[in-house]
Amino acid sequence: MCSNAIKFIFKTVLVLLLSGCAAGRAYLPDDIPPLHTVSEFSDDENVSRTGDPWEGFNRSMYKFNYEADRFVLLPVVAGYEKMVPRFARTGVSNFFTNIREVQTFYNCILQAKGKKSLKTLGRFLTNSTIGIGGLFDPATAFGWRRENENFDHTLEIWGVGTGSYLVLPILGPNTVRSASGFAVDGGVRWAIMNSIDPFGGTGASTEIETGITALETVDLRYRESFRYYDSDYPFEYSMVRYLFSQERELKILR
């Protein structure tokens, strides 16, 4: 039982690695003055709006994530880009995106979005068959736009509040609700994989699953353009918190 719990935690963290990053790169030419001030992102009004009561912990985690990104993740991604051809990297991304259609499917059902759930199921079946296990994405070529749902959004629809801003180790910017959503989605995926047990007959199920999870982790970071302190803003933590809050508000208005 303990062994299964440890495997669950390890795989969940790896699968969700850096998926919480929400801000894109911000470039500021040297000859143009800053458009924002520190107070704009960190005054009392904005702090209360973004809800950051654990700022000391969050800033420590932000720095930790920067160090982990700089010395571990980005060097691995650089090696991945150098060794793996672009078409193969695209295939890997398509494969894992297709797997995440399962997450969108059951969350659409939980949100009573019947039409979106059917479209997602159609995408998954099409890409899993015609797309050779998801390596290709013919569903998009057929005009079936990909939906993106998770348990965080499901909780939102059920009326659960966002909770406070929370920077998690490795996972990055989140809220209490989104962190809970990540945990539930990771748990469902782990349960599905355990019930199917696709590698059970190989005698190396744990090693294969760990390898696939590690590859997905690299793929997630490879597709994320955000780079810590790439903005050259001395108050980047506050800026990222602000942009994270704004992005979530815009998603609600869509």
Span 113-123, pLDDT tens digits: 999 999 999 99
> What mean pLDDT is predicted for residues 156-175?
93
The reply to whether 177 falls in a domain is: yes
Which burial class, exposed, middle or buried, applies to 196 when counting CB atoms under 10 A from its CB (0-12, 13-18, 19+)? exposed
Q: Is residue 11 part of a domain?
A: no
Give the chain's domain count: 1
* In-domain check, residue 1: no
Strand partners of residue 168: 172
- Residue 25 domain-assigned (yes or no): no
- Residue 10 placed within a domain: no
18 lies in some domain: no
pLDDT at res. 51: 81
User: What pLDDT sits at residue 247?
Assistant: 76
pLDDT in tens, 219-247: 999 998 888 887 777 788 988 898 888 87
Q: What is the span of the domain harbouring residue 127? A: 50-253
Strands 172-175 and 165-168: antiparallel
Report yes or no on 67 lying in a domain.
yes
Query: For 14-28, 63-77, 93-107, which range has the lowest pLDDT when averaged over its residues?
Result: 14-28
Q: What is the predicted pLDDT for the residue at 111?
A: 97
Instruction: Look at residue 43 and tell me if it is in a domain.
Output: no
What pLDDT was estimated at residue 120?
Answer: 97
Instruction: Judge whether residue 31 has pLDDT over 70.
Output: no
The whole-number pLDDT of residue 2 equals 39
Q: Partners of 172 in the beta sheet?
A: 168
Query: Which is more confident, 4 or 171?
Result: 171
Least confident range of 23-37, 57-71, 81-95, 166-180: 23-37
Tell the residue number behind the tokens 């744990």, with chain if given.
Answer: 206
pLDDT of residue 217: 92
pLDDT of residue 221: 93
pTM of the model: 0.77
Question: What is the spatial distance between Cα 188 and Cα 166, in angstroms, rounded to a whole number?
Answer: 23
The pair of three-digit structure tokens given for residue 215, joined into one six-digit string:
């590859």
pLDDT of residue 198: 82
Residue pLDDT, tens place only, 43-85: 444 444 558 999 999 999 999 999 999 999 999 999 999 999 9
- Whether the per-residue pLDDT at 101 is higher than 60: the answer is yes
- What CA–CA distance (Å, rounded) separates 165 from 231? 21
Name beta bridge partners: 173: 167
